[in-house]
Structure 1
Amino acid sequence: MLHNTFYPAEDGNTETIVLLHGFGGNSRIWKYQLPLLSKHYNVLTIDLPSHNEGNLRLSQLEVSLDAISKEILAVCDQHSIRHSIFMGVSLGTIFVKYIQAFYPEYVDFGILVGAVATVNTLLHGCARLFSKIGDKLPFATVYHVFSWIIMPGKRNEESRSIFRKCAIALNKKEFKLYMHIFNQAFRFSKLFEKEYHPENIYISGKLDSCFLRRTVREAKSTCGRMIQMAACGHVCNIVQKERFNEIMLKVLDRNYTVIAE
């Protein structure tokens, strides 16, 4: 079973939030949100396959969005969580959306942070290339290049630094397999755009030059709510943690009218 941690609500509330991190990271990326969330919600953090030491590896599973989603739901079942809020960041948002699409009974609504939607030809092509030769190249170089493609330019330097530090948990083999997952995710996003999900809230940085434009399009086509954080890149829950936390709490209170960016 995937590595996970359950934090009971300090005030005894029974509502639960499931947190899913992004590619290369682990549940520690939620360290600035956990103290706030656990005051009023049960919180379940789940580490994706191949992320965190000793965790289940992607190479031990069928390499598919469905197989990983079922592992996530197995953890939810273990904790008797049948219906909850799901919050994901980056690649984690794909699994929130996939579970909504195919196992909707588990999801109250999704908070999609730095969401991955459909992508441009360059990123799609790089994912396809790395899925074929990703284990033949120096791993540090591959991850360095991949982080630049996802978060280009000087303005995303902090986000890239966080991304690369988290890469320690992966290896060449698992990285290559995750490129197959990204390719599936891009195809799935085209289908998800055609669905109706007004319950979802998207939170992205205005400097997220790789994903923002198409995430805005996805939010509009699915009737979700889009919130753009000024002067912030892809990993907005860390780069601007205090402002993100303010927005997160207002979103959880359904207090959208006072959120302005």
Structure 2
Amino acid sequence: MLYYRQYTNDYTKPWVTFIHGAGGSSNTFFKQIKEFRKHFNVLLIDLRGHGKSKKSRWQKGDSFLQISEEVIEVLDHLKINQTHFIGVSLGTIVVQTLAQKYPDRISSMILGGAVIKFNVRTKFLLTLGNLGKYIIPYMWLYRLFAWIIMPKSAHSKSRNVFVDQAKKMCQKEFIRWFSVTRAINPFLRKLQRDFFNIPTLFVMGEEDYLFLPPVKDLVEENKDLKLECIKNCGHVCNIDQPEHFNNTTINFIYKQTSLKEVL
């Protein structure tokens, strides 16, 4: 089973489950835990090969479907029937996959630094990574990707956090995660046709030049989806602007319940 941490203060309160991005771990939500624990029961999960979930169970053909099933395994173990999900970066693909396969387990989705489409630049990065993944040390590639995705000096804290967390991975795990990004765009398009009946909030940094444009297009086409753009903020908005991220996401979750907004 995946490694997890839970913070339970009242079983009558809603659950909020955090899903981190590629190369990260549940520790990347360190700026959220204290505030969310005041209002909700909190579950943080380390995806396979990340953080303390070191034992990998990769099999040929594994995809985000199998990764999402491991998250459900944790929920079943803890007897959590339904939860709000907060995903960041590549973790948003895991959450979208859960929404397609297990919609009854999701109260709402918050997708931070959401990955819903790979543009030409992103595809080039993936191609570069796939060509070099067997010969170039994965940390060289990861640092390069982190700098391209989060290029500004204001994003340095986010870059450093993710690079530090990625050091806990190994080349073999990096290669396997890279493999699941092949032919990802058709998979993402299918996901986005299926989750519109779930309350969904996108939280994006205005400086997230790779991933913000397709999110804006999607929200314009689907008025039921919500978008919050944060100024002076890059891809990893929960670290760049944690107070804004926390206030926005907590109030969104409260709106999905009978509880009153608190912030």
Structure-1-length-normalised TM-score: 0.89
Matched, 1:6 2:6: yes
Q: Distance in 2 between matches of 1:18 and 1:54?
A: 16
In 2 relative to 1, CA 187–149 (structure 1 residues): closer, same or farther, beyond 3 Å? farther
Amino acid at match of 1:254: K
Tell me the SS of whatever aligns to 1:40: coil
- Between the aligned partners of 1:59 and 1:252, the Cα distance in structure 2 is 34
Cα offsets for 1:130-180 (capped at 9, x unmatched): 234312112232112221332234453333222212211212111111112
Distance 1:213 1:75, change over 3 A: same
- Structure 1 residue aligned with 2:245: 244
Higher share in helix: 1
In the alignment, the residues of structure 2 paired with residue 11 and residue 193 of structure 1 have an alpha-carbon distance, to the nearest angstrom, of 33
Q: What does residue 71 of structure 1 align with? A: 70
Deviation at 1:62, TM superposition (A): 5.1
Indicate yes or no: 2:78 matched with 1:88. no
* Conservation of the 8 A alpha-carbon contact between 2:88 and 2:112: yes
* Structure 2 partner of 1:235: 236
* Alpha-carbon distance between aligned partners in 2 of 1:184 and 1:115, rounded to the nearest angstrom: 18
Name the stretch that deviates more: 26-35 or 125-134. Answer: 125-134
Shift of the 53–211 alpha-carbon distance from structure 1 to 2, 3 Å rule, reads same
Whether the 8 Å contact between 1:113 and 1:203 is mirrored in structure 2 is yes
> Could you tell me whether the CA contact under 8 Å between 2:46 and 2:53 is conserved in 1?
no
Moved more, 242-251 or 179-188: 179-188
Tell me whether 243-252 or 98-107 shows the greater mean CA deviation. 243-252
One-letter amino acid of the structure 2 residue matched with residue 208 of structure 1: D
Q: Secondary structure at the match of 1:87?
A: strand
Matching residue's letter, 1:204: M
Q: Aligned partners of 1:229, 1:198: CA distance in 2, in Å?
A: 23
* Deviation of the 1:75 alpha carbon: 0.4
CA distance in structure 1 between the partners assigned to 2:60 and 2:72 by the alignment:
15
Give the aligned residue type for 2:239.
Answer: I
1:160-175 equivalent positions in 2, closer than 5 A: 160-175=159-174
C-alpha distance in structure 2 between counterparts of 1:180 and 1:215, whole Å = 24
Identical-residue share of aligned pairs (%)? 30
**How far off its partner does 1:116 sit?**
0.8
Measure, in 2, the Cα distance between the counterparts of 1:100 and 1:156. Answer: 30
Partner of 1:186: 185
Q: Say which SS state the counterpart of residue 50 (structure 1) adopts.
A: coil
* 2:182 match: secondary structure: helix
Q: In structure 2, list runs of 5 or more residues that go unmatched.
A: none
Q: Superposed, which structure 2 residues align to 1:25-174 within 5 Å?
A: 25-53=24-52, 55-57=54-56, 59=58, 63-174=62-173
Q: Tell me if the contact between 2:139 and 2:167 (Cα under 8 Å) persists in the aligned partners.
A: no
Q: Kindly tell me: are residues 11 and 78 of structure 1, through their superposed partners in 2, closer, same or farther at Cα, counting changes over 3 Å?
A: closer
Q: How far apart in 1 are the matches of 2:74 and 2:55?
A: 12
- Partner of 1:217 in structure 2? 217
Is the partner of 1:100 in helix, strand or coil?
A: helix
Matches within 5 A, 1:12-31: 12-31=11-30
| Cα deviation code 1:86-142 (max 9, x no counterpart) | 111111111111111121111111011111110212212321342343121122321
Instruction: Provide the aligned length of Structure 1 versus Structure 2.
Output: 255
Q: Displacement of 1:213 after TM fit?
A: 0.6
Shift of 1:58: 5.4
Between 1:225-234 and 1:236-245, the stretch displaced more is 236-245
Distance in 1 (CA, whole Å) between partners of 2:220 and 2:184 is: 19
